Amino acid sequence: MALRLAMAAGFAALAVSLTACQDGSMGGGVPLRALTPVPAKTLALMAQKGMSTNDPILIRAYKKEAEMEVWKRGTNGQYALLKTFPICRWSGQLGPKTKQGDRQAPEGFYTVTPGQMNPNSSYYLSFDTGYPNTYDRANGRTGNYIMVHGTCSSSGCFAMTDESMGELYALARDSFAGGQRAFQFQSYPFRMTAQNFAKYRNDPNAPFWKNLKEGSDYFEALRDEPRVNVCGTRYVFGGQDVAAGSCSPKVDTLVAEKRAHDNQQIAELIAKGTPATRVVYDDGGQNPVFRPQAPPSTLAFANLTKKDEPEGPYDPKDYARHHLGEVSRPESLAAGEREIEVDAKGRPVMIAAAEAPIPTKAAAAALKASSDKTKPGSVVAKKDAAPEPQKPARVMVADADADSPSYTKVLGSLFTPKTSPTPATPSADAATIPAAVAAETVQPAQKPGKPVHTAHIPSAHVLNAPSVTGAVGPKATTVAEPAKAGKAPGNATSPASKTASTKAAPSKEAAAKDAAPKAMTAAPKL
């Protein structure tokens, strides 16, 4: 009892030169905020759960969920959850801190003593997590003074609001005053559930996280603080045998049952198709309770639909009034977290927005037929191709730069201006222009000397022309054989040919007038 009174009396005079996230130090005196009592609401919660202010504590932190839990040990020797605090800011990514300046908040099992409490922190109040511990040093990790502190700004620390940090500080202070020599600080990337391990199974940090889960399983199965040892470059968790230095401790039955149950559940989730993912942040995150809330009217409506849902670990209204101070890198918080699917080696799986169509035998045969060098106007039969079902008539939307409007495909050149001839479209098929095909079957016989209207040529001939592009001059006219007498030279689809195919033959006088300019043009220059 005398020892406890001495510790309580001397606690306020502690002066240890520490910094919060490598900034700030203890001065000569102790500020009043370090002596603030535990809030009355929390004291009432303790009484409700059969706890006292001087009972030992244990703290657990979860990055992804951005939550920090305070547990207290009761008279039965087991820990029970007292209260959950939302983390206002943590930086970096999921995964352990490995070197100085990487902005990573540490992950692992740490020990916090009274000497690591900093009442004069530049960030309101703070305590040093104890990074690097024996495990970190065994794995070559560097850095120091990684804190839990107030003010919502982090460069590798766990940042709380000033109000939350004041309460955490008071809970730890009273436990030390009650005789606890040190409390355990457990830091995790996320809650150690089967669902999370199934999702993040291919993350590069997965082996390390499985090692952390061994300590988490011990605590959750027995509600007791695990003894921690380091053998080689791995954590070892257990009871008194671990405390004695054993690297092969006996596993408690309850702990073994929990591990077996979780492993079976992980295997089932993977078998059901749970994708392997990684979580990526621009620079850490924060609890959603600190993000801008929806309008009150929207919240009121949402509350009506959530009557059956369990109450959360904290009331958002309480934390909406907390002063956050200068929030670090708000643009990174606005970006939020992103889950990326990864392969067995942890590499991102790139999913194409649209898959390319799979070529069929019929398409390959058609492609081969169009590339064969055959006589102009001939139709190449498809070999070894199963007959395709008849397609319904359709109108294709033409490209503005390379194709004719859709209505010309259906109605031929009926509405085509004389000043803009419309060439045959190689991409059209017989189903696209049913009206043109029908017109071909009822076309009256042409008189000698009249060019044939090529808009009525069946599309099969066009598809098998020797050259899809650049078919001009005599080659273009070989698609259909007009009468040999009076064959019109040039492009058969010119405005002149279209007019000749629909109007009567001109008179001799008109022909003479039409021939006069041509004769003048042919005359030699003087």
Q: Active site includes 461?
A: no
Among 21, 149, 453, 456, the active-site one is 149
Name the residue type at position 276. Answer: A
User: 261 catalytic, yes or no?
Assistant: no
Which residue carries 């077996």 as its tokens?
Answer: 260
| Marked catalytic residue, from 21, 88, 152, 157 | 157
Check: CB of residue 493 under 8 Å from CB of residue 423.
yes
Q: Which long-range contacts (CB under 8 A, 24 or more apart) does 453-457 make?
A: 453/412, 453/413, 453/492, 453/497, 453/498, 453/501, 453/502, 454/424, 454/479, 454/480, 454/492, 454/493, 454/497, 455/412, 455/413, 455/422, 455/424, 455/493, 455/498, 456/412, 457/424
Nearest to 106 by CA among 143, 68, 58, 134: 143
Whole-number Cα distances in Å, 223 to 67, 81, 219, 275, 434: 19, 10, 5, 32, 80
What string of DSSP letters covers 152-210? S--SSSEE--HHHHHHHHHHHHHHHHTT---EEEEEESS---HHHHHHTTTSTTHHHHH
Tokens matching residue 276: 């392997």
Biggest CA-to-CA distance, the chain: 136
CA nearest 465: which of 413, 404, 424, 412? 424
List, by residue number, the catalytic residues. Answer: 149, 157
